[in-house]
Structure 1
Amino acid sequence: MRTAPADPATTLYRDQRAWRELQRFLPARLRLTDETAPEEEFWDWRGHRVHLDRYRDPAAKAKVVLHHGVGTNGRQMSLILGAPLAERGFETVALDNLGYGLTQVRPGTTPSYDDWVDLVVDFLAHERSRDDRPIVLYGLSAGGMLTYHVAAKAPRATLAGIVGMTFLDQRDQRVRDETSHDLFTARMGAPLMGLLARTPAASMKYPMSLASKMSALANDPGAMKVLRKDRTSAANWVSVRFLDRYLNYAPAAEPEDFDACPVLLTQPAEDRWTPHHLSVPVLSRITKVPVDTVMLDNAGHYPLEEPGLQQMQDAIADFVTTHAS
């Protein structure tokens, strides 16, 4: 497994309009230019080419790895966290997991959610093989629970901490009911996906906008228009196999046994998709490591609003400094 510079002929975010249009809805201080955008590179993993946004800083004492959800991508993580945390002296890298962003999936394969977890576990090992700086893993939306799944599966001492925008156990029917596109999908979709996943239809693609409450991804209607058109994020389609495993994934350690590292929830106060009470069933059961929650005032699920953005960046910077120093 290796990291390589992007091939000049490869599609890069520098050539994409979607994130440039989206950042018009962010505060001016967070808007990137060609000069301030992250470096783009690819990491080879099991025949897939995983796209990375990186703010390289060999002098940084800690590294923050950023992971998107099922309606976002790595560049959208760079906008709200990668760049501002880099300005504070942390090295940051945002990845596009299989099927999202600009990552190139190996032809003939149908990745599952298990592959998402394994990819991040291996990526962290790859990063630690390059240097021994402590790493904090951040995940937005579904990426929040992924940070938990990764921390539970990775070798001990891999992570100094995890930060999630949410921590949702999709095995919980209450979570499915509130985060799915509609109640019928919540109650009938999972059993149907389970049946189809054991047939040749497992590779069939389904729009995430019909599986989930994607309409609540952002609170700004203009931003939602941009996101709904972006096939690398909110307008993406995923396989039946992915959805089945995403809904039924069992972690290597249940919350009562989780002792891998400290946990921080950065919860948008105006989240219309995954409100705070949906993360409580997971976080309330974690007692062997510190668990903290910071509410982000005025912020939506994909936070575009102040003061929530500033509060999120401050809270994560403090968390990294405390646990990864």
Structure 2
Amino acid sequence: MSSTAPTYYRDQRAWRDLQQFLPERLRLTDATAPEEEYWDWRGNHIHLDRYRNPEARAKVVLHHGVGTNGRQMSLVLGAPLARRGFETVALDNLGYGLTRVRAGANPSYDDWVDLVVDFLAFEQSRDDRPIVLYGLSAGGMLTYHVAAKAPRSTLAGIVGMTFLDQRDQRVRDETAHDRLTSRAGIPLFHLLARTPAARMKYPMTLASKMSALANDPAALEVMLKDRTSAGNWVGVRFIDRYGSYAPAVEPEEFDACPVLLTQPAEDRWTPLHLSRPFLSRITGVPVGTVMLDGAGHYPLEEPGLTQMQDAIAGFVTEHTA
């Protein structure tokens, strides 16, 4: 978290500026914003946006990508799903949003996976309601990595906006900032990650095709200025492990829970053909795809937003009955 970032989103302007680009029905006020709390994990203070509902049959845990944060998940999914009767919680993983990373720590992508695995266990220790895990952008593949590593009974389903296997060179080529980064930069980060330079911070706007995060140029400008989301800088160690992480279970052997892809139809960063190769290898559980008409990578547009919310609500209801 930036040293200038506030402790709570109620004191942050960036998400308030961003929500002006959403349909009015999705805009939050101080009265309708989620409860904010912190969860301690290995000396880190993890920020949570939560809509509590003890009567809800299921929980939906929301995870951001490498250009977003938990409050941006609450805007497009957390609040709408809560209004439909689900309990939702959106977390800020290490280095993003308002989470406060332990002094001296240098988080990797492996830590992201472990954090979510442990968070799900924490949630299950509180009650036994089924949980569905959602991930936007890079968070989509994280849902798979978590489901592959967590105990088998942890998740009732996973939903991703993309499922990008960064070990695939085509995925790297199309999602990195440029071809030089995907072909030479990733190997260089791999070498640097084994030196003291592993702690060096690098802007995600230069590592990835962040210019395609949102299709509305004014909304994109708001996000790029936000150091808690698209304007973030991450450690070399994180980029190295993000690009080379191997799941605990490869897709051919995956049978932990059903999978749903909610794919924005106007996604200029991670179109459908980048998720298909990985998902096609999963045959042990049901795998569905729903296209979100008119929506960009971070979906701001109708009817895609409503289609996404409908599809996820239906998926959660079906698999947590």
- Bin of the TM-score, shorter chain as denominator length: over 0.9
CA distance in 2, matches of 1:227, 1:91: 27
- State the match for 2:302 in structure 1: 306
SS in 1 for 2:194: coil
- State the match for 2:273 in structure 1: 277
- State the match for 1:86 in structure 2: 82
SS in 1 for 2:60: strand
CA distance in 1, matches of 2:6, 2:209: 32
SS in 2 for 1:279: helix
- State the match for 2:123 in structure 1: 127
- State the match for 1:145 in structure 2: 141
Shift of 1:10: 6.4
**1:108-165 deviations in Å (ceiling 9; x for gaps):** 0100000000000000000000000000000000000000000000001100000000
Work out whether 1:98 is the aligned partner of 2:98: no
Which residue identity lines up with residue 291 of structure 1 in the other structure? V
Work out whether 1:19 is the aligned partner of 2:15: yes
CA distance in 2, matches of 1:191, 1:235: 23
Query: Is the Cα–Cα contact under 8 Å of residues 6 and 12 in structure 2 kept in the other structure?
Result: no
CA distance in 1, matches of 2:208, 2:105: 24
- Number of residues of Structure 1 aligned to a counterpart in Structure 2: 317
Which residue identity lines up with residue 193 of structure 2 in the other structure? A
- State the match for 1:3 in structure 2: none
CA RMSD of aligned residues (A): 0.8
CA distance in 1, matches of 2:259, 2:214: 24
Work out whether 1:261 is the aligned partner of 2:223: no
Query: Is the Cα–Cα contact under 8 Å of residues 56 and 87 in structure 2 kept in the other structure?
Result: yes
Which residue identity lines up with residue 270 of structure 2 in the other structure? T
- State the match for 1:248 in structure 2: 244
Query: Is the Cα–Cα contact under 8 Å of residues 214 and 298 in structure 2 kept in the other structure?
Result: yes
Question: Structure 1, unaligned stretches of length 5 or more?
Answer: 1-8
Compared CA separation, residues 147 and 239, structure 1 to 2 (3 A): same
- State the match for 2:50 in structure 1: 54
SS in 1 for 2:55: coil
Question: Structure 2, unaligned stretches of length 5 or more?
Answer: none
CA distance in 1, matches of 2:105, 2:21: 36
CA distance in 1, matches of 2:55, 2:62: 19
Which residue identity lines up with residue 238 of structure 1 in the other structure? V
- State the match for 1:32 in structure 2: 28
CA distance in 2, matches of 1:137, 1:248: 22
CA distance in 2, matches of 1:10, 1:219: 28
The partner residue of 1:194 within 190, 213, 221 is 190
In the TM superposition, structure 1's runs of 4+ consecutive aligned residues that sit over 4 Å from their partners are: none
**1:159-190 deviations in Å (ceiling 9; x for gaps):** 00000000000000000000000001010011
Shift of 1:11: 1.4
**1:193-241 deviations in Å (ceiling 9; x for gaps):** 0000000000100000000000000000110110010000000000000
CA distance in 1, matches of 2:6, 2:171: 38
CA distance in 2, matches of 1:38, 1:109: 28
CA distance in 2, matches of 1:10, 1:118: 26
The percentage of aligned residue pairs carrying the same residue is 83
CA distance in 1, matches of 2:121, 2:6: 26
SS in 1 for 2:291: strand
CA distance in 1, matches of 2:23, 2:185: 38
Report the TM-score, using the length of structure 2 for normalisation: 0.98
Shift of 1:324: 1.1
Which residue identity lines up with residue 251 of structure 1 in the other structure? P
